[in-house]
């Protein structure tokens, strides 16, 4: 597929900038993932997507669905061979502290992003997503980023270093488009670790049990998305009516969903390779507001 421009957080304007802020606060993370930045290349769709998904994303039901999906990922890989990249890489104490923080951030964010991508993909294909609960009736979580969560820091997608640029090209060729996944751009801040990890991750992706695990995770993500509390009012017709290329939006969404399970399996292997991983406070505290306030905010 053709390369899709990503909208950086610094380059976001208007409705996209507003949605970026709400995504960070609602997902309780310090940055906006590559998948979401790719969607933002279609700004009118992006705003409509968040209007359709936002009420679900801030519910405890969404959080528990994402946590359940991540637990499935961990269970799928826990019996696989130890990656060994963490001990093999030559990193100092400070470097290990920050690399661990980057992995903790990805662990908190990516299962929820896959749940969003699956819900949007099914809605765009005309499938029913979500239940018929009345808006504002499902338990919601407090917004806000945990104080101990690491800042999102990435290497540019086209780095000056030829070795890193070649590594990025190999990652995209293996996992599929569009673009270098955010976790690999984050871990490229420590190129020796990323190179060591990728060299050990890539061969396993060719195995049949890896693909079977990815297929199971994809189906689980879709089932969990169907069970979200509120209907996802999004369709190709609505996207086209907004003046966006509905076919292009669907194509990029399908590509994002297609590669996400494999990325989660790889992330799980890296996470389980690191000692003393902290768990972010997920799910968060309940948001105790009157129903009429919740309904008004969710419009």
User: What pLDDT, in 10s, does the model give residues 26-65?
Assistant: 998 998 998 899 999 999 999 999 999 999 999 999 999 9
Tokens encoding 263:
């990325």
Instruction: Look at residue 292 in the predicted model and tell me its pLDDT.
Output: 42
The whole-model pTM stands at: 0.89
Q: What is the DSSP string of 44-96?
A: HHHHHHHHHHHHHHTBHHHHHHHHHHHHHHHHHHTTSPP--HHHHS---HHHH
- What span, in angstroms and rounded, lies between the C-alpha atoms of 19 and 230? 19
What is the mean predicted confidence (pLDDT) over 264-273? Answer: 95
Residue 95 has pLDDT above 50, yes or no: yes
- What span, in angstroms and rounded, lies between the C-alpha atoms of 76 and 218? 13
Confidence of residue 102 (pLDDT cuts 50, 70, 90): very high
Residue 122 has pLDDT above 90, yes or no: yes
Asked which of 142-151, 198-207, 223-232, 259-268 is least confident by mean pLDDT, the reply is: 142-151
Mean of pLDDT over the chain: 88
Q: Is 148 exposed, middle or buried, given 0-12, 13-18 or 19+ CB atoms closer than 10 A?
A: exposed
Instruction: Look at residue 298 in the predicted model and tell me its pLDDT.
Output: 45
Residue 241 has pLDDT above 90, yes or no: yes
């Amino acid at each position: 597929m053709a390369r899709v421009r990503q909208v950086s957080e610094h380059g976001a304007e208007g409705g996209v900038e507003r949605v970026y802020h709400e995504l960070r606060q609602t997902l309780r993370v310090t940055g906006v993932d590559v998948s979401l930045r790719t969607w933002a290349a279609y700004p009118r769709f992006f705003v409509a997507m968040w209007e359709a998904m936002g009420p679900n994303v801030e519910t405890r039901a969404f959080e528990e669905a994402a946590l359940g999906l991540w637990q499935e990922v961990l269970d799928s890989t826990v019996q696989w061979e130890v990656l060994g990249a963490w001990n093999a890489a030559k990193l100092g104490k400070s470097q290990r502290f920050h690399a661990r923080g980057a992995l903790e951030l990805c662990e908190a964010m990516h299962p929820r992003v896959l749940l969003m991508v699956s819900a949007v993909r099914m809605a765009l294909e005309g499938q029913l997503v979500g239940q018929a609960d009345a808006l504002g009736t499902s338990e919601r979580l407090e917004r806000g980023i945990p104080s101990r969560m690491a800042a999102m820091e990435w290497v540019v997608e086209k780095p000056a270093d030829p070795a890193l640029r070649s590594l990025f090209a190999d990652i995209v060729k293996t996992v599929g488009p569009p673009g270098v996944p955010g976790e690999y751009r984050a871990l490229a801040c420590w190129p020796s670790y990323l190179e060591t990890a990728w060299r050990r991750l890539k061969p396993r992706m060719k195995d049949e049990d890896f693909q079977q695990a990815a297929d199971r995770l994809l189906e689980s993500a879709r089932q969990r998305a169907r069970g979200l509390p509120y209907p996802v009012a999004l369709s190709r017709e609505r996207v086209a009516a907004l003046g966006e290329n509905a076919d292009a939006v669907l194509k990029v969404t399908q590509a994002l969903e297609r590669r996400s399970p494999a990325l989660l399996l790889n992330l799980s292997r890296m996470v389980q390779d690191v000692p003393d991983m902290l768990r972010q406070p997920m799910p968060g505290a309940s948001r105790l507001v009157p129903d009429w306030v919740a309904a008004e905010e969710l419009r």
